[in-house]
Amino acid sequence: MAVADIKLRQLLQPVVEALGCQLWGLELQAGGKTKLLRIYIDNADDGVGIEDCEKVSRQASAVLDVEDAINGEYILEVSSPGMDRPLYELSQYEQYIGEDISLRLRFPYEGRRNFKGRLSAVDGDEIVVVVTDHEFLFPVEGIEKANVVPRF
């Protein structure tokens, strides 16, 4: 996780939790002159509704503006992680052992960066993914993006 993301998480986590939600993750994307801050919130008990997103958006925006946490203009989005939820931390991977995930690595491994398979274990700071009967061990810090593959 980038230093900017860690600082934003530390700033926003108490705000989100005070509103009865869990900070699932966040993404700060810089493109052009305007940045995009996407905050994913969750609520294991009741799920996340539009009202939750609105409350978190108002409070997070106020805190970000007061703390001047993001230089320049930015767009703030608050959302549920959804069925294809992104995975950021080891504890989140642990919750989805036995599920299919898709992931993109920061650097190629065996000539490829994209993998899709069954998450079979978390071992220390690495995850084990089974892709067509072949086990791969990936360090979490080497994963650029990972998502749960929803079942319908």
* Domain boundaries defined on the chain: 3-79, 90-148
Enumerate long-range contacts of 112-116, CB under 8 Å, 24 or more apart: 113/144, 116/149
The answer to whether 26 and 6 are in contact (CB under 8 A) is no
Q: How far apart are CA 6 and CA 141, in angstroms?
A: 14
Whether residue 1 has pLDDT greater than 60: no
Mean pLDDT of the region 27-54: 90
pLDDT at 64 over 70: yes
C-alpha span between 109 and 137 (Å, rounded): 10
Cα radius of gyration rounded to whole Å, the chain = 17
Residues 152 and 137: their CA atoms lie apart, in Å, by 27
**pTM reported for the whole predicted model:** 0.88
Domain boundaries 3-79, corresponding CATH code: 3.30.300.70
Mean pLDDT of 49-56: 95
Predicted confidence (pLDDT) at residue 2 exceeds the cutoff of 90: no
- Beta strands (DSSP E) in 5-125 are 22-31, 34-42, 74-79, 100-109, 112-123
Mean per-residue pLDDT, 31-60? 91
Dihedral sign (CA 68, 69, 73, 78): negative
69: Cβ contacts below 8 Å, ≥ 6 apart:
7, 8, 11, 63
Mean pLDDT, all residues of the chain: 93
CATH no., domain 90-148: 2.30.30.100
Question: Which are the contacts of 95, defined by CB distance < 8 A and separation ≥ 6?
Answer: none
How is residue 129 written in tokens? 């993914």
* Average pLDDT, integer, range 91-103: 96
pLDDT score of 75: 93
The residue length of the chain stands at 152
**Sheet (strand 74-79) strand order:** 22-31, 34-42, 74-79
pLDDT for 4: 66
The answer, yes or no, to whether residue 86 has pLDDT greater than 80, is yes
Mean pLDDT computed over 46-57: 93
